[in-house]
Structure 1
Amino acid sequence: MSPETVLPLVVFALASSVTPGGATTMATASGAHFGFRRSIPLMAGIAAGLASMAAAAAAGLAGVLEAMPSLQLVLKTVGSAYLLWLAWKVGRSGQPRLDADLVRPTSFTAGVWLLWLNPKAWAMTLGASASFATLASGPARLSILLALAFGFAATASVSIWCTAGTLMARLIRTEAQWRWVNMGLGILLALSILPVWL
């Protein structure tokens, strides 16, 4: 397998993971509230979650979901409810209080679940599994290839968004400004669900 044949997959993974959505919004909010270093567990969880989803989709989960539309509906409903709950939490958070005893950044495990319950991420990885199936000689190799591509893309994407959040935190000074930013991030997170339902 040459780099030329894998390049479209890498471009797809990067383009689809860098666009605004639940994970990028959470990375931005975490960077703004906790800084880059304290957001690393969340970002690692997001990358691991997307990589494992891509591997699962390539290994055959795509076929199971295609065969059971009711399971797709359950996944979309539960995932949307979880993202709305996160949007509510982000939107209602106030000015960062960086005392480590008072607040904790989102954990690695929560980052993984953020992806596994994210309808946009499912659409992305299932679509990639179907579109790039010919790149590998079987489901196991395709699983590894998609896991590597999406893991790399997610790491790059959330690092960029977290850095943007960290830089944004340096510009925002008042409680009122933080309320507006958090409300905006919460609304963006809630809106990231719409493409899945439309």
Structure 2
Amino acid sequence: MSAEQVFAFFTFSVVAAITPGPSNALVMVAGARAGFVGGLPCLAGVVVGMALLMGGANLGLGGLVQASPNAVVVIKGAGTAFLLWLAWKVASAPPMSDRVMDDAVDFWKALVFQWVNPKSWIVSVSAAATYGAGLSAFPLVRAMWLASVFALAAALSCFVWLAFGASLQRWLTNETRSRWFNVSMGIALASSVVLVLH
């Protein structure tokens, strides 16, 4: 992978990772509920899950999914169910002052969510077609390179969302503001179901 290719893919990855979406909303909620350090497991789950998906898409998984209408239906269905469940958990969470940690902070849920998150699939399949196809390296080496570069870009981008969420933590110690925040973020996550069903 040349320096130009790395830079081009890194730029694509930052733009794809930092734009609003279900994963970034989840990371922001994690920061707001658990603080910057407490939200790191969620951030790590998003980054690792996305890197694994990016690697898998570049090893041919993306093409298999695109070629199978049933796989697309399963991913959309699982994504819808998981997003709605997360939206409910966030919207119905107790005020921040009652409990700091929240299920949305969990590493494994954040990791698994990437595999049913439609935005993650779109980004991974697009990257495989645009950047992966142009690389002459062995498939495994190519997949590892792209997954590693994307993981770095995603980590930097998610840090922004986590820091923003953590900056709200003190403001959200007020019970009324906290409940409004929870409901608003739950609605935002539920609204992203439109992406799944589109």
- For residue 110 of structure 2, what is the aligned residue in structure 1? 111
Letter of the 2:158 counterpart: V
- For residue 162 of structure 1, what is the aligned residue in structure 2? 162
CA deviation profile, 1:123-162 (whole Å, cap 9, x unmatched): 1101111111203433212211221122112211221111
Q: CA deviation at 1:106?
A: 2.5
CA distance in 1, matches of 2:8, 2:83: 29
- Residues 96, 175 of structure 2: 8 Å contact kept: no
Q: Any gaps of 5 or more consecutive residues in structure 1?
A: none
- Residues 31, 164 of structure 1: 8 Å contact kept: yes
* 1:86 pairs with 2:86: yes
**Identity value in percent:** 33
- Residues 34, 98 of structure 1: 8 Å contact kept: no
Letter of the 1:35 counterpart: G
Secondary structure at 1:172 match in 2? helix
- For residue 128 of structure 2, what is the aligned residue in structure 1? 129
Q: Any gaps of 5 or more consecutive residues in structure 2?
A: none
After superposition, the Cα gap between the structure-2 partners of 1:9 and 1:193, relative to the gap in structure 1 and judged at 3 Å, is farther
- For residue 180 of structure 1, what is the aligned residue in structure 2? 180
Secondary structure at 1:93 match in 2? coil
Alignment of 1:1-198 (within 5 A): 1-97=1-97, 106-132=105-131, 133-198=133-198
After superposition, the Cα gap between the structure-2 partners of 1:105 and 1:125, relative to the gap in structure 1 and judged at 3 Å, is closer
Letter of the 1:183 counterpart: V
CA deviation profile, 1:92-117 (whole Å, cap 9, x unmatched): 213114767x8666322112112112
- Residues 43, 159 of structure 2: 8 Å contact kept: yes
Q: TM (normalized to structure 1)?
A: 0.91
- Residues 97, 103 of structure 1: 8 Å contact kept: no
Pick which of 36-45 and 136-145 moved more: 136-145
Pick which of 41-50 and 132-141 moved more: 132-141
Q: TM (normalized to structure 2)?
A: 0.91
Letter of the 1:115 counterpart: Q
CA distance in 2, matches of 1:140, 1:175: 50
Pick which of 165-174 and 77-86 moved more: 165-174
CA distance in 2, matches of 1:124, 1:104: 26
After superposition, the Cα gap between the structure-2 partners of 1:85 and 1:105, relative to the gap in structure 1 and judged at 3 Å, is closer
CA distance in 1, matches of 2:179, 2:99: 19
- Residues 49, 113 of structure 1: 8 Å contact kept: yes
Letter of the 1:23 counterpart: S
- RMSD value, Cα: 1.9
Pick which of 64-73 and 28-37 moved more: 64-73
